[in-house]
Amino acid sequence: DCMIEKGLVSFPDLKLVLLQLAVVTAISAISQWVMSLLTNKMTYKIVDDIRRRVFAHMEILPLRYMDAHQPAISRISTDVDQFSDGLLMGFTQLFSGVMTILGTLGFMISIDGRITLIVVLITPLSFFVANFIAKRTFTMFRLQTRAEMTSLVEEMVGNQKVVKAFAYEKEAEEQFDDINQRLQSCSLKATFFSSITNPSTRFVNGLVYTGVGIFGAF
């Protein structure tokens, strides 16, 4: 609006717009840096605490429990790493998502409150879709822990002489195949459900754009 045509450029207004843009960009960059710093620190402190507690708990478990269960080394390493990745991604997306939603709503209301109402009414559909997918994805990812397989491999390979002595090879192989099949099935389902999140939410976004386009045209 500050640049209509040749000779009709309001440089003072244009400088003000550019200054505002520079300030917003700077605030955004600093906020993202601070957010990354805080979420990383928080996530790794939580993970450190979990590992310490699990290790301390293993130290006080009775011998009969340790003898009856497979070693849980991968619970402390692999599974906690997966948990930390999820936390890190979740915190980052949560904060940036909330700020984006609030900023976008404020911007839309300042332009046209009626069209904003259309967006607010249709958008909750994406929450229902995301919730439906998230519940199923969570169940599959929860079953996808690799601790059981890692523990079995460590136990069978580490105690190879005992396995040979008791002719346990066939049972160990059957046990491994069973765990492997379950892990494969859960992984495929988890990947499928997580991969349909983007297309589903894009479909809802398409409905929002359509509603805004039609209502705006009228």
Residue-wise pLDDT tens digits, 12-29:
999 999 999 999 999 989
Q: Whole-angstrom Cα distance, residue 31 to residue 23?
A: 12
Q: Is the pLDDT of residue 53 over 80?
A: yes
Q: Is the pLDDT of residue 143 over 70?
A: no
**Cβ atoms within 10 Å, residue 89:** 12
Please work out, in degrees rounded to the nearest 5, the angle formed at the alpha carbon of residue 148 by the alpha carbons of 47 and 168. Answer: 150
Q: Interhelix angle for 197-217 vs 169-195, to 10°? A: 10
**Segment 151-154 long-range contacts (CB within 8 Å, at least 24 positions apart):** 151/70, 151/71, 151/72, 151/73, 151/74, 152/70, 152/176, 152/179, 154/71, 154/73, 154/74
Across 31-35, 53-57, 151-155, least confident range: 151-155
How confident is the model at residue 145, as a pLDDT? 61
How confident is the model at residue 137, as a pLDDT? 77
**Segment 181-185 long-range contacts (CB within 8 Å, at least 24 positions apart):** 182/143, 183/144, 183/146, 183/149
How confident is the model at residue 17, as a pLDDT? 92
Q: Whole-angstrom Cα distance, residue 105 to residue 98?
A: 11
Residues 6+ apart with CB under 8 A from 140: 186, 187, 189, 190, 193
How confident is the model at residue 30, as a pLDDT? 93
Q: pLDDT digits over 101-118, tens only?
A: 898 899 999 998 888 988
Q: Is the pLDDT of residue 144 over 70?
A: no
Across 65-79, 172-186, 198-212, least confident range: 65-79
How confident is the model at residue 72, as a pLDDT? 62
**Predicted TM-score of the model (pTM):** 0.48
Residues 6+ apart with CB under 8 A from 86: none
How confident is the model at residue 109, as a pLDDT? 92
Q: Tell me the two tokens of residue 112.
A: 């046209």
Q: Is the pLDDT of residue 184 over 90?
A: no
How confident is the model at residue 19, as a pLDDT? 95
